[in-house]
Structure 1
Amino acid sequence: MMTNQKHLLSFFFILSLAGLGSIQLSMAKEVIRIPVGVVLDLNSSVGAIAESYMTMALSDFYAKHAHYRTRLDLRTRDSADDIVTAASEAWYMMKKEKVQAIIGPQRSAEAKFVMELGRKAKVPIISFSATSPSLSQSRSPFFIRTAFDDSAQVKAIAAIIESYAWLEVVLVYEDTDYGNGLIPYLVDAFQDVGARVPNRSAISLFSSDAEILRELGRLNSTSTRIFLVHMTASLGSKFFILAKKIGMMSEGYAWIVTEGLSTLLDPVSSEAKDSMEGVLGVRPHIPSTKYLKDFMKRWKKANKMTAGPNLFGLWAYDTVWALAMAVEKVGIENYSSMKRNVSTNPASLGTSAMGKTLVETVLSLKFRSLSGNFQLVKGQLEASAFEIFNVIGNKERIIGYWIDQQKGLSRQLKFDSSEAANTDVKRKLKQAIWPGDTTDRPATKKLRIGVPVKEGFNEFLKVEKNNNISGFSALVFFAAVNKLPFPLPHDFLPFNGTYDNLLWQIKAGKYDAVVGDTTIVANRSLYVDFTLPYSESGVSMVVLVENNERGNIWIFLKPLSLDLWLTTGAAFIFTGFVIWVLEHRVNSEFRGPPQQQLGMIFWGESGEQLVKISARNLGFCGSYPDTELHCKFSLNVNSAEIAACIY
């Protein structure tokens, strides 16, 4: 009996241990599902792609981390591209479904309202696509951006403007928080590289085709031909189709698109992409890794699509991974003890006790993500290198990279220090194909140059046929243009009127410059800037020189005419003959052979002239008062010596 009782007790003990083990095993396998809200515009290309990327992110993450005790429970809501709907869906999930975080919303205008709800409820708002610089963690400590701030790209865009030596750029952007938020940063960046914004155009999302065409016509009437477009895909695709329709996608124009449109070229229609032929774009560089290639292969197969990687989709994928890691790090024990503080006010959201810890954990994460390196700085993804691409047909050709502010532009992602000191754009970027299928770089604009039309003296400037110009001022202008490192298209516009009125046309905006023999005076300098003077003003006499006779040994004969020289020679001979006649009889020196007598005729004449010159000189010396000079001349004709002795 005692033996049976012992066996029975042993059986119950073993059974108890087995039951306890099964309970512990069951508890070990139990997972906690963390509700997370997702607010997207499911009818948009970004929303649809992001949802598919996030679905695969959940599957991939928990396949790799099957031992984690937490699971994200994504609850997706459609914002229907409406700010109020996005805010109401976020409020409902915070209030009714007690979500611990919200991924989204998709657009910056929506995020502006939802982040305020998150701040009051202490629920993290994590957006992968709201890139407006006006949104930041400084405005709401519960806002996290797992994407680049739009302002990160302005240095790359400014470097392109500087490399092509464009002096003016027209900004075209959508009239939303997303579009308006970047404009101040662009203007400042352009000023840093010596470019200005003479015109800008804000286009509403609700603009009709006729309204957009009217605005394009206004832009086309200006002289600037360099445009920067900052829009999302929905408006941008329609804009470029209409721009091509009125001939603004032809030779002479240059178009640059920002990251928002550059990252969405795959979803746009083929008609829109055809209209963007020759456009330059800027977008973040995505490292091509084996992990990314494997993901894209699986994604294309699952969704039956052929599009390449979508940047916003990759950021959505990384956001899910980051949030899943953070939830696990917060810990299941902490989550079970964190109860939602619910207010008795029906309109109140209450506050989440988990929110602050979750935000701090997400901000501290660092890991190798699908899009590159995941590391948040000041509440947003740290910027990396940017690609500069050229739309050619249905493809985008990479023509260079912007590495960082110190290294600037480079043809290759691997920086070459020899490129840094080179200012030639051909050494920094590959050859681009511009609108109109040309390799000729578009200029900023055609300068309207006024030239004076006048009668009389035209050597400085003369207006020829077809408004061509010639003359000294024209040659100076053409020489200066040829020295420029970039082309300078221009038109000469003849002007009939005074020089003051001609220069005033620059102030009035009708001309960009004036070429001519204009005088620099004080009152004109009040409204125009002059170049350095290239010719002195004043009255001068110009004598025409037929030929250069500096090397002519007979140049000394030029002061007197031929008749005067002949008369002088004849008088010289006649005087010598008279002296010979008078001296021949009494002076033996004038006798002898004929050649000796002929020589004495000329030499005697020369000696007499020398005596006269010497006498005049001595007479001048004796003109000083209180000075007594006694002179005696001795003339020896044979030895040709003249002596003057002073006693």
Structure 2
Amino acid sequence: MPLLMTMINLVLLLSIFILFVQVFPEEAALRPNVVNVGAIFSFDTINGKVAKVAMKAAEDDINSDPSILGGRKLSVALHDSNYSSFLSFIGALQFMETDTVAIIGPQSSVMAHVLSHLANELHVPLLSFTALDPGLSPLQYPFFVQTAPNDKFQMIAIAEMVSYFGWAEVIAVFSDDNQNRNGIIMLDDKLAERRCRISYKATLPPDPMAKRSDVLRELAKIQMMESRVIVLNTFSKTGLLVFEVAKSLGMMEKGYVWIASTWLSTVLDSTSPLKPETANSIRGALTLRPHTPDSKRKRDFISRWNQLSNGSIGLNPYGLFAYDTVWMIARAVKLLFDQGGNISFSNDERLISLTGMDLNLSALSIFDGGKQLLKNVIETKMTGLTGPVRFNQDRFLINPSYDIINTVETGYRQVGYWSNHSGLSIVPPETLYGKKPNRSSSNQHLDSVVWPGGETIKPRGWVFPNNGRELRIVVPNRVSYRDFVSVVNGTNKVQGYCIDVFLAAIKLMPYAVPYRFIPFGNGHENPSYYELVSKIAAGVFDGAVGDIAIVTDRTRIVDFTQPYIESGLVVVAPVKKISSNPWSFSRPFTPSMWAVTAAFFLIVGSVVWVLEHKINDEFRGSPRQQIVTIL
């Protein structure tokens, strides 16, 4: 009997289990116990190493709080692309075959352009805090989200720094890939808005393929050019190679200016201590670092970092962005569940129809909740390690800002901040967000900078190029007034007062100015000054020295120096030294002049007496009284 009851109970339990599986299989599949997220990075890079540790920390923190995903676990699977675009693509396909709801990455903008097309078709959001190419438009790539400030703002910051220091031209050195190339295009546009420009663009092979010979060839060209302000937009391996070669060429000495994009700040933050030769080669450069406001959560995470990373690498801001990105996905998935959404995938009929191929394309399926998850991500409103995390209508993070860092002998020092709200300042941007924006030039400030060569005085930013031609200075070959300027007969020598003034000015220049004088005119008649000035405006000559009057018509086409001779008619008179006394005012009048003046007084008085005598009682009386009235 007990055996029979046991069998009946087993059959009953088995029947209930079968019924449960038949009734609730779909619900179990739609609410999986594990939420899969992929991550594609080159884990041999600085940002790759930092991101790996930070994402793992975020995963553990999320899974330790059952309220985030309702008891489900978040699983962040890592794929090492190892600098290979092909491996990045393979990793994305693998993730999309395994019901992945979102992918963090890719690390490079080159692959972001490619994988975004795949994400658009399969509705799997891509979130990247390192692929910050300004050309990744949300209109073209709606499923790609940048979770760190777009490089557009970094280029605006550099342009405003160039304008702040008063430089008109810069040279751009960059790796020839999508992100760095588009960044320089953006920089060119922003410099043009401030009446500055890029005078030369030096392209290097994409990181990390640049060789020393590639860098040496480009820097040798730059060394011969006029501008001494160099903007370096690349990644860490190529960037450090550029500084190493520049140091060997003497391009980290007095007179040069180097502005590096955020890659250099990641090296400073995550590589400690720097090799002595590396620290020496970057000394005096300026760089940017994404600004993250101070907070207790941030300080707590920084205090945990050594334990999380086992001291293998230092924390930089992109580690904070990596941590926040994982949390953004977790919160968006939680909201998806709260909204009644599910994690389900459906087959793409277009892929199923591709039969007769060895590729298993049918394994790729469309994430049904992808659009809603993307919407939840874009509408994120949270406070993370990087501060307030929100997106504006253009899908840029609000309040992008950067620290401005100066590399010095002892490491680095912060000289200011840049924010899209207030521009350059020496106070943290978050203290200014509550105030009205003030971008006037008088409100832009930075602390003092130690430039290459240990200089504290702002470099001029340009020199006369070693490979440049001489200045073509035209001088009028006059017939008259040869004391001002003249050509010595039978020679190319010029002389005169104007030439002496020009030579004196040249001697005051702190650098060599090559020039040559070119006579204008046949020497038999005075040349046309209007024609001479017109040739300067047309670029035939670079300048002119001579007795050229400053008149309105000429000022419309060329610029003049301050006049050093006044023209016009003058009176020349001898100078006598005469002592001064109270009666000095009478000296201009001679005795004859005094007599004529007195006679006029009497005549005028007599005429008035004749006219008034008959009708005016004031002019009557004794002769004495009438004489007094006349006077």
Structure 2 length as normaliser, TM-score?
0.71
> In the alignment, which residue of structure 2 is the partner of 1:220?
223
Q: Specify the SS of the correspondent of 1:278.
A: coil
Instruction: Assess, with a 3 A threshold, how the Cα gap between structure 1 residues 460 and 496 changes in structure 2: closer, same or farther.
Output: closer
Post-superposition shift, 1:131? Answer: 0.3
1:518-553 Cα offsets, whole Å, 9 max, x none, are: 567999999x7332773789897996x7x6227499
Q: Specify the SS of the correspondent of 1:265.
A: helix
Instruction: Assess, with a 3 A threshold, how the Cα gap between structure 1 residues 461 and 118 changes in structure 2: closer, same or farther.
Output: farther
> In the alignment, which residue of structure 1 is the partner of 2:397?
381
> In the alignment, which residue of structure 2 is the partner of 1:446?
463
For the 8 Å contact 1:410–1:419, the answer to whether it is kept is no
Paired AA for residue 356 in structure 1: K
Determine which of 83, 86, 91 is the counterpart of 2:85.
Answer: 83
For the 8 Å contact 2:343–2:369, the answer to whether it is kept is no
For the 8 Å contact 1:274–1:394, the answer to whether it is kept is no
Paired AA for residue 70 in structure 1: R
Instruction: Assess, with a 3 A threshold, how the Cα gap between structure 1 residues 374 and 422 changes in structure 2: closer, same or farther.
Output: closer
> In the alignment, which residue of structure 1 is the partner of 2:286?
280
Please state if 1:368 is matched with 2:387.
no
Moved over 4 A (4+): 332-337, 414-425, 447-462, 469-482, 499-511, 513-526, 535-543, 550-553
- What are the within-5 Å matches in structure 2 for residues 66-465 of structure 1? 68-95=70-97, 97-205=98-206, 206-267=209-270, 270=275, 271-305=277-311, 308-331=314-337, 334=340, 336=342, 338-343=344-349, 344=352, 345=354, 346-348=360-362, 349-377=364-392, 378-405=394-421, 407-413=422-428, 414-415=431-432, 428-446=445-463
> In the alignment, which residue of structure 2 is the partner of 1:530?
559
Paired AA for residue 519 in structure 2: T
> In the alignment, which residue of structure 1 is the partner of 2:613?
none
Q: What stretches of structure 1 of length at least 5 have no aligned partner? A: 1-7, 463-468, 483-487, 554-605, 607-647
Bigger mean CA offset, 220-229 vs 396-405? 396-405
Post-superposition shift, 1:190? Answer: 1.1
Q: Specify the SS of the correspondent of 2:417.
A: strand
1:73-122 Cα offsets, whole Å, 9 max, x none, are: 11111112121221122012212x12121111100001111111111111
Post-superposition shift, 1:385? Answer: 2.6
Bigger mean CA offset, 375-384 vs 330-339? 330-339
Paired AA for residue 302 in structure 1: L
For 2:78 and 2:244, locate their aligned partners in 1 and report how far apart those are by CA, in whole Å.
Answer: 34
Instruction: Assess, with a 3 A threshold, how the Cα gap between structure 1 residues 367 and 422 changes in structure 2: closer, same or farther.
Output: closer
Q: Specify the SS of the correspondent of 1:263.
A: helix
For the 8 Å contact 1:477–1:515, the answer to whether it is kept is no
Instruction: Assess, with a 3 A threshold, how the Cα gap between structure 1 residues 516 and 89 changes in structure 2: closer, same or farther.
Output: farther
For 2:459 and 2:284, locate their aligned partners in 1 and report how far apart those are by CA, in whole Å.
Answer: 11
For 1:262 and 1:328, locate their aligned partners in 2 and report how far apart those are by CA, in whole Å.
Answer: 35
Q: Specify the SS of the correspondent of 1:139.
A: coil
Post-superposition shift, 1:442? Answer: 0.8
1:207-258 Cα offsets, whole Å, 9 max, x none, are: 3211211110101111111111111112111111111110111000111112
For the 8 Å contact 1:170–1:198, the answer to whether it is kept is yes
> In the alignment, which residue of structure 1 is the partner of 2:357?
none
Instruction: Assess, with a 3 A threshold, how the Cα gap between structure 1 residues 311 and 516 changes in structure 2: closer, same or farther.
Output: farther
Post-superposition shift, 1:350? Answer: 2.9
For 1:303 and 1:395, locate their aligned partners in 2 and report how far apart those are by CA, in whole Å.
Answer: 22
For 2:234 and 2:288, locate their aligned partners in 1 and report how far apart those are by CA, in whole Å.
Answer: 13
For 1:134 and 1:93, locate their aligned partners in 2 and report how far apart those are by CA, in whole Å.
Answer: 25
Q: What stretches of structure 2 of length at least 5 have no aligned partner? A: 21-26, 355-359, 465-469, 488-494, 522-531, 581-591, 593-631
For 2:156 and 2:136, locate their aligned partners in 1 and report how far apart those are by CA, in whole Å.
Answer: 19
> In the alignment, which residue of structure 1 is the partner of 2:576?
549
Q: Specify the SS of the correspondent of 1:266.
A: helix
Q: Specify the SS of the correspondent of 2:330.
A: helix
> In the alignment, which residue of structure 2 is the partner of 1:492?
513
Instruction: Assess, with a 3 A threshold, how the Cα gap between structure 1 residues 336 and 207 changes in structure 2: closer, same or farther.
Output: closer
Post-superposition shift, 1:140? Answer: 1.9
For 1:385 and 1:397, locate their aligned partners in 2 and report how far apart those are by CA, in whole Å.
Answer: 17
For 2:299 and 2:199, locate their aligned partners in 1 and report how far apart those are by CA, in whole Å.
Answer: 44
For the 8 Å contact 1:259–1:281, the answer to whether it is kept is yes
Instruction: Assess, with a 3 A threshold, how the Cα gap between structure 1 residues 379 and 410 changes in structure 2: closer, same or farther.
Output: closer
Q: Specify the SS of the correspondent of 1:376.
A: coil
Q: Specify the SS of the correspondent of 1:428.
A: coil
Instruction: Assess, with a 3 A threshold, how the Cα gap between structure 1 residues 421 and 232 changes in structure 2: closer, same or farther.
Output: closer
1:305-354 Cα offsets, whole Å, 9 max, x none, are: 28653122111110101101111221189565623335424435331102
Instruction: Assess, with a 3 A threshold, how the Cα gap between structure 1 residues 548 and 542 changes in structure 2: closer, same or farther.
Output: closer
For the 8 Å contact 1:453–1:495, the answer to whether it is kept is no
Instruction: Assess, with a 3 A threshold, how the Cα gap between structure 1 residues 232 and 552 changes in structure 2: closer, same or farther.
Output: same
Instruction: Assess, with a 3 A threshold, how the Cα gap between structure 1 residues 266 and 504 changes in structure 2: closer, same or farther.
Output: farther
For 2:268 and 2:326, locate their aligned partners in 1 and report how far apart those are by CA, in whole Å.
Answer: 24
Percentage of matched positions with identical amino acids: 26
Post-superposition shift, 1:136? Answer: 2.4
For the 8 Å contact 2:336–2:376, the answer to whether it is kept is yes
Paired AA for residue 92 in structure 2: A
For the 8 Å contact 2:346–2:368, the answer to whether it is kept is yes
For the 8 Å contact 2:336–2:372, the answer to whether it is kept is yes
For 2:212 and 2:117, locate their aligned partners in 1 and report how far apart those are by CA, in whole Å.
Answer: 35
Q: Specify the SS of the correspondent of 1:239.
A: helix
For 2:578 and 2:330, locate their aligned partners in 1 and report how far apart those are by CA, in whole Å.
Answer: 98
Q: Specify the SS of the correspondent of 2:453.
A: coil
Provide the aligned C-alpha RMSD in A: 4.3
- What are the within-5 Å matches in structure 2 for residues 474-623 of structure 1? 491-499=512-520, 517-518=547-548, 529-531=558-560, 534=563, 548-549=575-576, 551=578
Paired AA for residue 454 in structure 2: D
Paired AA for residue 549 in structure 1: K
Post-superposition shift, 1:298? Answer: 1.4
1:405-439 Cα offsets, whole Å, 9 max, x none, are: 5x3222222459999698579x8111100000011
For 2:425 and 2:514, locate their aligned partners in 1 and report how far apart those are by CA, in whole Å.
Answer: 41
For 2:462 and 2:452, locate their aligned partners in 1 and report how far apart those are by CA, in whole Å.
Answer: 15
> In the alignment, which residue of structure 1 is the partner of 2:527?
none
Post-superposition shift, 1:259? Answer: 2.5
For the 8 Å contact 1:461–1:474, the answer to whether it is kept is no
